[in-house]
Amino acid sequence: MKILHYRADLRSVLFILLALTAYAVQWTGLVRHPALLAATFCLSFLACVINHNHQHHPTFVPGILNKGFGVLITLAMGVPATAIVAMHNFNHHVHNNHGEDFVRVSIVRFRWNLLNLLFFPFVAVFHYLPAKARDMKEWRTHRPHLHRQVMLERIIYYPLLVTLLILGPLETLLFIILPQLFGQWGILAINHVQHDGCDPDSEYNHSRNFVGRWLNWWVFNNGYHTAHHLRPNLHWSLLPQFHEEIRPLIAPELERRSLLWAVIQFYFWPARKPVWKGWAT
């Protein structure tokens, strides 16, 4: 029987297991080192990336394995994995940086663009909170499979977190909660980089793409953001091929190789809000 839809997802499973292992060995005191802690922050972010992919295209063929993997992702990222579907799949992908999108870049308007990046995730969550209870209530009636999965993830994660906090509050805060908060901040912050200054009304120029091969190996091809928005249920391993098909239709300035260099330019120096020229004119 086929287990994985795509063999590439062996990497997804491995990284989730690495994140959980990193939490465990540091919390227990088996291994502690600043380099390992830094890697844990990165793994927590990657757990959020993997969850993003998993919610668009289930990792496993058997449904029971996807349920279990959702629980493992929850333990790795620090929030119920399925909960992002309401804010991301059913909101961001529908409204894509327009007025009803809770993660539209226009919700932050600081003159210093670095502040926009830093505060964007917090403001986005604040904007979404009033709708969260409504969405969960709607799921109970109209999407019971999602509601059951969210409840399963909550029932397992939150009691475990409370137990760990009682047994080792400082260890839990430093080696688990802080990395997870960083990962959650990062997965929202990257949305600002990918959409800031782009044209939400354009079919192909609504997103910024980062096409460096080394970067995309680590972030599971999430640099190909235009392709993802056009075909959100396409498996992440197929995004580079689709990007090449639509590449002639994308403004060249919305394709970059280096995410790091873009972050430096947009938020540190000269720290000016990027605007796609085709949109500005």
Question: Which amino acid appears at position 267 of this protein?
Answer: Y
Residue 161's closest CA among 146, 148, 147, 180?
180
Q: What is the pLDDT of residues 14-61, one digit of tens each?
A: 999 999 999 999 999 999 999 999 999 999 999 999 999 999 999 999
User: For the chain, what is the domain count?
Assistant: 1
Per-residue pLDDT averaged across 66-95, rounded?
97
User: Does 16 map to a domain?
Assistant: yes
* Confidence label for 279 from pLDDT (cuts 50, 70 and 90): low
User: pTM score, two decimals?
Assistant: 0.95
Q: Give backbone dihedrals phi and psi of 255, rounded to 5 degrees, phi first.
A: -120, 125
Q: What is the pLDDT of residues 141-168, one digit of tens each?
A: 999 999 999 999 999 999 999 999 999 9
Q: What is the pLDDT of residues 196-226, one digit of tens each?
A: 999 999 999 999 999 999 999 999 999 999 9
Residue 281 pLDDT greater than 80, yes or no: no
User: Does 227 map to a domain?
Assistant: yes
Distances (CA, A) of 59 to 54, 126, 128, 218: 6, 30, 27, 17
Cα distance between residue 276 and residue 157, in whole Å: 42
User: Does 86 map to a domain?
Assistant: yes
Residue 277: its pLDDT value, please? 64
Q: Tell me which residue range forms the domain holding 90.
A: 9-280
User: Does 39 map to a domain?
Assistant: yes
